[in-house]
Amino acid sequence: MSLKEKFIFNFIQDDRWRYIADGLAVTLKVTFFAVLLGIVLGIIIAIIRSTYDKNGSSMRGFSKFILSVLNLLCKIYLTVIRGTPVVVQLMIMYFVILVSSNNQVLVAVLAFGLNSGAYVAEIFRSGIMSIDQGQFEAGRSLGFNFVQTMRYIIIPQAFKNVLPALANEFIVLLKETSVAGYVGLQDLTKGGDIIRSRTYDAFMPLIGVAIIYLVMVMFFTYLVGILERRLRNSER
């Protein structure tokens, strides 16, 4: 068979491209919501951890106790998540924790979001710690409370500093979702796999899937580049 015939056989015949298209939709959906969850979780953890690092020693009484406990919980979470493979976490989520759920998309979003949150937290923490203490003091001296200072002054600057690392984490996450097939979710990779099992041809579906991932990552990298330039321009 020529390449063209192979292509038609693998993707066009019997509308097999639908596996790819549906899989792509699932991959994007899982990645999008997992990123949202990861960022929200990551910011909260980063704020707790950096607050503890910066102010923990000067705090007193009850608030110090609460902060210490939260910091400890965050540390445990980070250690466990970063110390175990994401595939194992995904399977634990599906076969152990949410055993009664048939919603694989939800399971995947939770597993990948919780996983990503750990990495995003450390990225954001380094971003927050890189902001000069004077910025924090200036905010507080104007009368902003802790949360307002974080929201209006620290986080926007930290976000700009960590954008490249954050983009990288998004790219990693997008590709990591390819293991979602382990819990029976028909994502992009699984879609290609199904075609392979039907046509007994490995080349076309696998290369096709690889190219789609590559194009998505390249497109996203391009978007981040634009965003980074725009944020940088605002300081000149």
Partner 1 sequence: MNANETLIKVENLQKYYNGGAIKALDGINTEIKQGEVVVVIGPSGSGKSTFLRCLNLLEVPTGGSIFFEGTDITDEKTNINVHRQKMGMVFQHFNLFPHMTILKNMIIAPMKLRKKSEAEATAMAMELLKRVGLEDRANAYPSQLSGGQKQRIAIVRALCMEPEVMLFDEPTSALDPEMVGEVLEVMKQLAHDNMTMVVVTHEMGFAKEVGTRVMFMADGKQVEEGTPAEIFENPKSDRLKQFLAKVL
Point out which residues bind partner 1 (CB under 8 A).
58, 61, 132, 134-135, 137-145, 148, 152-153, 156-157, 160, 234-236
Residue 60 CB, nearest distance to partner 1 (Å)? 8
- Can you read off the two tokens belonging to residue 184? 């029976």
157-to-31, 48, 221 alpha-carbon distances in Å: 25, 17, 21
Closer residue to partner 1 in complex, CB, 135/221:
135
Q: Are 29 and 104 in contact (CB under 8 A)?
A: no
Give the residue among 211, 182, 206, 180 at the shortest CA–CA distance from 193: 206
Residue 123 CB, nearest distance to partner 1 (Å)? 18
Closer residue to partner 1 in complex, CB, 13/145:
145
- Can you read off the two tokens belonging to residue 90? 């995904």
Q: Are 97 and 83 in contact (CB under 8 A)?
A: no
Closer residue to partner 1 in complex, CB, 61/83:
61
Taking the C-alpha atoms of residue 35 and residue 1, their distance in angstroms, rounded to an integer, is: 42
Residue 157 CB, nearest distance to partner 1 (Å)? 5
Residue 57 CB, nearest distance to partner 1 (Å)? 11
Rg (CA), the chain: 22
Closer residue to partner 1 in complex, CB, 53/132:
132
